[in-house]
Every structure is written in C-alpha cells, then in structure tokens.
Amino acid sequence: MDPSETSRDLEMKLYHHPLSGHAHRARLFVSLLGLPHELVEVDLKAGEHKTPEFLKLNSFGQVPVLDDDGIVIADSNAILVYLARKAGRTDWLPEDPSGAAGVQRWLSAAAGEVAYGPAAARLITVFGAKFNAEEVIARAHVFLKRLENQLTGQDWLVGGRPTIADVAIYSYVARAPEGNVDLSGYPAVNAFLRRIEELPGFVPFARTPAGLAA
C-alpha cells in the first residue's frame, strides 16, 4: 500500500457545509492549529444530514462532525474543545480555573445568544427559516452591545491572547449583516473581527449576497 494513501486515510475528516457558521467554527480552528484534515461537504439541501449514514455519525443530524480516525465528535463547540485538548494547546483553551471558566462563558454565549440572535437572523435570509425577523435582530443587537462592552479596551474575549472563545463567536458575528444586523455601530467588535482575520491560518467564512450584504 502506498504510504501516502495510508496517511490520507488517517487524516481527520471534518463534515461541514460552507454556509454553516457552526461548521465554519470547526474549519477555522483546525486550520488555525495547522492540523491535516479532509473536508467532506454535506449537502444539506439534498438532505444528506438526515441519511442513516450521517445519523450514525451525529444522531442530531447536524454539521459539523469531526471524525478523528474513528473518534467522532459532534457539535461545533465540542470540536473546538477536543481539538485544543488533542493538540495540547493551553493557549487556546486555558487550564487555570479563571481562564477555563471565562472561555466556557463565551462558548455558552455562542450556543445561546449568538444562535438565537445573529445566527437566527441569518437563517431567515440565507436559508428561509421562519423566525420573527424583528425579534431575532433585536436579540442580535442586545448581544452585540454586550460584546462591544467586553471588547472595549481589550483585544480578546479572555485574557490577553486569542482562545477558542473568540473562534466560537467569530463566524456568525462576521456575517451578521447577511441577516440584516448592522455592525456599523460596534467599532470594537469590528476591530476584533479584523484581528481574527489576521491570524495565521485564518480561513474565511463564505459570503452570501443576502440582507445588508446584498
């Protein structure tokens, strides 16, 4: 057997969709870490995420899913934690109690306030979701005001360097205008987005001509 084929077979596989912000979190972080991986696109429109084969990987029927040589991790934030631990990168995921708690706070925000604010607003315009646009846009601005306050006077969400907290927040905030969420009133947030984009290994989240970005 060709050794190069064996090497490819043992690479991490990341099941994703290019328009999913949750999937982009995982793709961004594996790239920031410089880990060899294979991207496997899941056709959400065709319902590939609901097939028996995919549901064996993630019974929730969602992307992303990471398959690390048979170790299967579902959920974008869980993937961030797994990758940081596997790589031994305590800079990205601190081990001290205060730092670890600080990161967890923003992972919770990514799964809560972000999901039901800017992410939900974008789901309306990009995927046709049936949310109340006025309600989710208002939620997005509540979160963005809190994020602006957190980032005023500091570069990163936790401590003095980037962590997986920043990765978890980035994608849906960066594409919030696609959901008709105006970012122009948040200078610290915009500066934060640019800092993420300047990190070595950064990969952009696909843009769509929707909402304010149309």
Q: Specify if 115 maps to a domain.
A: yes
Do the Cβ atoms of 12 and 66 come closer than 8 Å? yes
Q: From first to last of its 214 residues, what are the pLDDT tens digits of the chain?
A: 344 443 444 589 999 999 999 999 999 999 999 999 999 999 877 877 888 887 888 888 789 999 999 999 999 999 999 999 999 999 999 999 999 999 999 999 999 999 999 999 999 999 999 999 999 999 999 999 999 999 999 999 999 999 999 999 999 999 999 999 999 999 999 999 999 999 999 999 999 999 999 8
| Number of structural domains the chain divides into | 2
Q: Specify if 30 maps to a domain.
A: yes
Question: pTM for the whole thing?
Answer: 0.92
Q: Which domain holds residue 103?
A: 97-204
pLDDT of 6 = 39
The verdict on 109 and 72 lying in the same domain is no
The verdict on 63 and 137 lying in the same domain is no
pLDDT of 177 = 98
The verdict on 66 and 114 lying in the same domain is no
The verdict on 117 and 73 lying in the same domain is no
Q: Specify if 211 maps to a domain.
A: no
The verdict on 116 and 182 lying in the same domain is yes
Q: Specify if 65 maps to a domain.
A: yes
- Give the DSSP letter string of the chain: --HHHHHHHTSEEEEE-TT-HHHHHHHHHHHHTT--EEEEE--TTTTGGGSHHHHHH-TT--S-EEEETTEEEESHHHHHHHHHHHTT-TTTS--SHHHHHHHHHHHHHIIIIITTTHHHHHHHHHH-----HHHHHHHHHHHHHHHHHHHTT-SSSSTTS--HHHHHHHHHHHTGGGGT---TT-HHHHHHHHHHHTSTT--PPPP-S-GGG-
The verdict on 45 and 124 lying in the same domain is no
Say which CATH number the domain at 18 has.
3.40.30.10
pLDDT of 11 = 81
Q: Specify if 2 maps to a domain.
A: no
Q: Specify if 198 maps to a domain.
A: yes
The verdict on 111 and 70 lying in the same domain is no
